Structure 1
């Protein structure tokens, strides 16, 4: 099934200028999770002179200034994906080329799962907060203790 769809997906991507499909399928890995939450690639356009292409990224209005500041890093990372200096410009847009309603998409990526704290960390935090009478305050202090002790063991 994937072999059958691979050619169709490639043709559809090439219509939008994405000669390297990895740019679309692995966007989070190429530019990083923080940038991927703010911007998505929508088009690669080639100018008349043929001196490099322009990558258009879609972002929300509130994140546009941050994305604008990151354009040189985005261009470097995308060119590393292509393997040569294919992209000479990165342009920011706040509307998708298909229209306003279709361009409203979620930029959230799946949050990373935190590993549960080690059993000795849980028992130590419960022991430290055991003297507190208020249940809510005790649970909050236990959680704070677990976070601090887990951070110390990871560094």
Structure 2
């Protein structure tokens, strides 16, 4: 919260830190990082991420840089064939010929783990007739109901 009692958006609080981290990896603007799926398309964004932008030593920034893209396994072959199209789209984002070369690095699936939590697992329904016989021999009604609920839970999760 600011001095005047107004809340500051999280984006404003993190903007400087994000800029510093992006510049450390060679991204002069964070737009390429934050809008990657819109720039290259959803299908490419699912298998590739921008890693860094490097300017060669002795070259002037106007002469262009090398964009390194992290690609998911064998998808690197597909991206190798699409390099020129990707370069055009990235340069359209910058507004000038900022990238002259694209380098592709292969990575395993652990590099592409989503930050989104996994969808909850819905247990498959278990027919009531298979649960009742499992708890029939118990005389205490509360215990019988608890065992039936446990059996339903275990059986619903163990089904393929």
TM-score by length of 2: 0.60
Question: In structure 2, do the counterparts of structure 1 residues 35 and 107 end up closer, same or farther at CA, with 3 Å as the change threshold?
Answer: farther
Partner of 2:67: 55
- Secondary structure of 2:101's aligned partner: strand
Any residues of structure 2 matched to 1:2-151 within 5 Å, and which?
2-48=11-57, 49-50=59-60, 51-95=63-107, 104-106=110-112
For 1:75, what is the secondary structure of its paired residue? helix
Q: How many residues align structurally? A: 104
For structure 1, the 5+ residue unaligned runs are 111-155
Residue 107 of structure 1 and its aligned partner are, at CA, apart by: 6.7
**Secondary structure of 1:65's match?**
helix
Q: Distance in 2 between matches of 1:47 and 1:3?
A: 33
RMSD over aligned Cα, in angstroms? 2.2
Per-residue CA deviation, residues 51-105 of structure 1 (Å, 9 max, x unaligned), is 210000001221111010010011000000001000000000014xxxx8xx832
CA distance in 1, matches of 2:45, 2:113: 7
Pair member with larger Rg = 2
Q: Which runs of 5+ in 2 are unaligned?
A: 1-9, 117-160
Structure 1 length-normalised TM: 0.62
